[in-house]
Chains A and B, each alone.
Chain A
């Protein structure tokens, strides 16, 4: 489903050159739940961004569903992300000026979905994460765990085939974290959603199908 072939990423700043990823080749198959672990700064987020086609590798090849990507700025690629990918970020990235339900609707804004249909789908997604009674709240009125659940609702509202989660439980206590993990496991099991998750938590990683370890931009396991 997602294929990375000899992918490297080098960040060039004025003074230093950082190799965030070094010759990585990974294949994620459909329906798989893959977790990525590694110390801070080893390139996990970079890897996830490249899988999510929001970042361009310095070298190597990325193929999604058999198609390789040439133009990272194209509208077609943006649409592809919109249709096929769901993103969950470590720091939630909710829009504070929008209510919970409007935040969840966001991916649907960029599709041809009627306003009523959007509402319905967003409400369903919120129900799945157990936040139906918080629809009219604003992000500032929510706890960290609730925010992350809103972010998950936003990631699943468009029913994407793939979810990319960057430390979805990183900012949460263990109880909250376990709850989020349960939601992801359920999605993977019941809907067959492919999930790639970055985590620092061994026990969570153990619950997934496969674990990849990164060290200094290279795959070590």
Chain B
């Protein structure tokens, strides 16, 4: 039977080419969209690694202040003053690259010329606690790190697994922008948002009073009234004697950043949905038409001994085989992307998109071909043969 169907498809290659091409192009479009979508969804799935809810960042600017020791003193006073409020659970100074904002990239070469590309995040000894980072190895910074001979740094787990796994950390010095000593590993720090790639991150320690750390990160107690922001505002203004600072709620920034990705994703998926509906209707129409043109053949086959089930499965199989051929060509095309590494995207995204596209198309084909085929199988043989 399968041989017979394949023979029939082959002999009708001209009329099947259209269906074949339709399936091929649909596959390619679905594949493209699903590659993008799976990539983003997989990014979205991996945890940020830090708290965003009830985290405020006070963005300040000390560039115009020349008296460093006065700034040092003022910064400590500001942090202590704010911490005296019960609404503030923790506070930490950080550098200009903050969660959901900014980035600092650094590329360095070790003694062997091995290149390391990493994000650099500056923070003080309270950074871990304030942002609720998860320490998986070693320790976070403490104030005695200020006197350390080599730059103490903490890296993310992925960075660790990919670059330092199995290596002795405590006594080794690695060049990460400067001679550094890795003291700890945190689970994750996807600080550029939900849809960011998990890039290497290295935290560098700086003392809280350092003039470079101009961002004050605050962890606010849950349930704090919104009016509290005004109080923080006044404290900052009165202690810094400046009013060019801003207070950012990073949860809001997080959803704003995410929305910038969600909107195109939803747009793409809508296009896909539209395509799928169109393809199904087209498929349904083509099948309906071709089956109505083949009533005679159906009558003949029924007369010669085909059961209704055999008629149905013949028509469904014909379409399915042609679709499989279209999908196969699509696969050959799609496979080039991971094989030739056309884009810097993990191969798994392509494979998932291929599976998803093939699955959806096959499902559509089965759904769209079953009903017309089943209807066709109910034709009365005598009636069908009588026509012509």
Chain A residues in the interface with B (C-beta under 8 A): 45-46, 49, 52, 54-55, 73, 75, 78-79, 81-83, 87, 89, 91, 93, 95, 97-99, 102, 105-107, 109-111, 115, 154
Contact = CB atoms under 8 A, between A and B. Distances in A.
B388 A102 contact: no
B3 A106 contact: no
Given A45-B386, A102-B7, A79 B308 contact: no
Interface string B285-296: 000000000001
For chain B, give the interface size range.
Answer: 20 to 34
Contacts of A87: 303-304
A93 B305 contact: no
A102 B4 contact: yes
A98 B8 contact: yes
A81 B303 contact: yes
Contacts of B385: 54, 89, 93
A79 B305 contact: yes
B301 interface: yes
Q: For chain B, what secondary structure do more than half of its interface residues adopt (helix, strand, loop), or is it mixed?
A: helix
Given A98-B7, A102-B7, 9 more contacts: A46-B382, A75-B308, A79-B305, A83-B305, A97-B11, A109-B1, A110-B301, A115-B3, A154-B304
Interface of B: 1, 3-4, 7-8, 11-12, 296-297, 299-310, 378, 380-382, 385-386, 388
B7 A78 contact: no
A54 B305 contact: no
A49 B306 contact: no
7 contacts: A73-B308, A75-B307, A78-B305, A78-B306, A93-B385, A98-B7, A111-B305
A81 B308 contact: no
Contacts of B297: 95
Contacts of B296: 93
A91 B388 contact: yes
A110 B306 contact: yes
B8 A107 contact: no
Contacts of A115: 3
Contacts of A102: 4, 7
B64 to A, nearest CB: 85
A45 to B, nearest CB: 7
A62 to B, nearest CB: 13
A169 B7 CA distance: 30
A54 B309 contact: no
Given A54-B302, A54-B303, A109-B1, A75 B382 contact: no
In order of increasing CB-CB distance, the 8 nearest A-B pairs are A82-B305, A55-B382, A75-B307, A54-B381, A110-B305, A49-B382, A97-B11, A107-B304
